[in-house]
Amino acid sequence: MSRPTKITAMHVKDIRFPTSLEKDGSDAMHTAPDHSVAYVILETDGDLQGTGTTFTCGRGTEIVCFAADTMKNRVVGRRLDDIFNNFGAYWHEITCDSQFRWIGPEKGVTHLATAAVVNALWDLWAKMEGKPLWKMLVDMEPEKLVNCLDFSYIEDVLTKDEAVAMLKKKDATKDKREAEMLKTGYPIYTTSCGWLGYSDEKITKLATEAMSQGFSRFKMKVGKDLQDDIRRAAIFRKCVDANQVWGVQDAIDWMTALAPYKPLWIEEPTSPDDILGHAAIAKALNPLGIGVATGEMCQNRVMFKQFLQANALQFCQIDACRLGGVNEVLTVILMAAKFNVPVCPHAGGVGLCELVQHYSFFDYIRCSGSLENRMTEFADHLHKEMCAPVKVRDGHYMPPQAPGFLVGIVPDVQKAYEYPDGSAWLDLFEKGLFKRDHDHEDN
Ligand SMILES: C[C@H](O)[C@@H](O)CC(=O)C(=O)O
Ligand SMILES: [Mg+2]
């Protein structure tokens, strides 16, 4: 097999799944999402390809694809050694393009696009090393790993030297934790029983099934109707997720009413940008035993820094595609470890479970060294569509062994669900179940 030396081409696909039909993935804000991805493939002069995705919710995917496509000229033709030997500097270069940066910076569509491209590079690198991403990160020399990160704007709370020291400190005992992960896996919770559009009967049936499969932790969606939420909270309780529907005082009042059901956290209680609002909610709810969780829409490491500084979150929910890929996610995991805040990654979207598992293994083995108050999300749909679906055993993710970041979608599925001309979509249009984008108000 010939080892790649440079990127020769980049392709971007808009792949969407009609999850709104069954209300999979629905919440109080996103009432009918179609879980989708901007799908990036990097071709090389060798035998390997890199694949990266960014999770989106249907309409809008084409915009992220367009943004990713415009990044081609910063990727194609580049030598892989130049990228991987100076990955932190390369990441800085692509996120600081002097013109592209104006429509970010480091947030929104451009950052979602960055994630897909950057994650494809990490997938390729891990395949070249012959390791799953988590294992490559666990084995990498601390200095080399830290060289992949961009510390701009966060050096007031975490320096390169401090990050190296943190990794070195944990390295003495990492083999033990790696063996533990290989044996028992990383604890997870499921969101799949609690999507907002599901009936009470469906929730009860799914929760019962999940318990028989070894799940003991659940998340339910809230925020549409308080009486509905109270009734459902009695069916199962643990974490609740409002997906940004409330103002600060609404969040405090609503959650005070749900407090008797003892939720561990309230997720995204208000605007994801309102750091001080989250801090006020946390201050009011922490005494009731409820923590604040957020991060799936936290734009970048700078905002995470402030959330941590302001004591505005008790559970840090990194997302594999909202931040600008592995390089930036690792800085947030390190900052969270410094503040002793548990990282509980967000994974309610296609490909996210497959991606975030790598972060949880890395976090436990090499960074936090703790499982206390930590669990990663699992959502039960769109796995058979993946080339290497997550392995779940007794409510735990089991570490994957195949090389790469492992977010590839089965080729026939890619073809069928490519929007709008894949056969599955043509069929849905023909049946009148969907209208093409721009032909309708809403599905
Ligand atoms: C629209 C998405 O499905 C969202 O509801 C996911 C989410 O908030 C979560 O998994 O948490
Ligand atoms: Mg959520």
Mean pLDDT by 10 residues, the chain (443 residues): 94 98 94 97 97 97 97 97 98 94 95 98 98 98 98 98 98 97 97 90 90 90 92 79 97 96 96 98 98 98 98 98 98 98 98 98 98 96 97 97 98 98 98 82 52
Nearest to 439 by CA among 348, 294, 151, 425: 425
What number is the ipTM of this complex?
0.98
Model pLDDT, residue 442: 54
Atom index in ligand 1 nearest the CA of residue 221 equals 5
Query: Apex CA 55: angle with CA 50 and CA 61, to 5°?
Result: 100
Instruction: Please name the CATH architecture into which domain 7-130+410-430 falls.
Output: 2-Layer Sandwich (3.30)
Do 167-398 and 7-130+410-430 have the same topology in CATH?
Answer: no
Rounded to 5°, angle at Cα 374 from 371 and 378: 125
Q: What is the DSSP track for 73-139?
A: GGTTT-BHHHHHHTHHHHHHHHH--TTGGGG-SSSHHHHHHHHHHHHHHHHHHHHHHTSBHHHHHHH
Distance from the alpha carbon of residue 202 to the mean position of ligand 1, in angstroms: 18
0.80 exceeded by pTM:
yes
SS3 382: coil
Domain ranges of the chain: 7-130+410-430, 167-398
| Both tokens assigned to 288 | 């009731």
- Please name every residue paired with 190 in a beta bridge, in sequence order, or none if there are none: 218, 378
Which residues are known to be catalytic? 221, 346
How far apart are alpha carbons 317 and 304 in whole angstroms?
Answer: 10
Q: Whose CA is nearest to atom 9 of ligand 1?
A: 348
d(CA 190, CA 384): 17
Q: Which of 17, 21, 27 to mutate to test the pocket of ligand 1 (most atoms within 8 A of CB)?
A: 27
Residue 214 CA, ligand 1 centroid: distance in Å? 22
Instruction: Based on DSSP, count helices (H) and strands (E) in the chain, helices before strands.
Output: 17, 12
Q: Domain spanning 167-398: which CATH class is it, in words? A: alpha beta
Distance, in Å, from the CA atom of 133 to the CA atom of 388, rounded to the nearest integer, reads: 13
Neighbours of ion ligand 2 (CB under 5 A): 241, 267
Choose one of 17, 189, 221, 243 to mutate for the ligand 1 pocket test, by most ligand atoms within 8 angstroms of C-beta. 243
Neighbours of 99 (CB within 10 A): 6
What pLDDT does residue 441 have?
A: 54
Integer Cα distance of 329 and 121 in angstroms: 15
pLDDT, position 48:
97
Give the span between the Cα atoms of 139 and 129, in whole angstroms.
11
**Identity of residue 180:** E
Q: What's the CA gap between 128 and 214, in Å, rounded?
A: 36
Residues with CB under 6 A from ligand 1: 25, 27, 30, 33, 57, 191, 241, 243, 296, 346, 348-349, 377
Question: What does 35-64 look like in DSSP terms, one character per residue?
Answer: -EEEEEEEEESSS--EEEEEEE-STTHHHH
Ligand 1 pocket, mutate which of 56, 241, 377 (most atoms under 8 A from CB): 241
Look-up of token digits 């209680």: 269
Answer for the pair 31, 52: CB distance below 8 angstroms, yes or no: no
Strand partners, 426: none
**Mutual angle of helices 108-129 and 326-338, in 10-degree steps:** 90
What are the φ/ψ torsions at residue 343 (nearest 5 degrees)?
-95, 120
Ligand 1: centre distance to CA 75 (Å): 31
Alpha carbon separation from 103 to 67, 98, 107 (Å, rounded): 10, 10, 8
Q: Report cis status (omega within 30 of 0) of the bond before 105.
A: yes
Task: Map tokens 């936290």 to a residue.
Answer: 298
Distance CA 337, CA 166 (A): 9
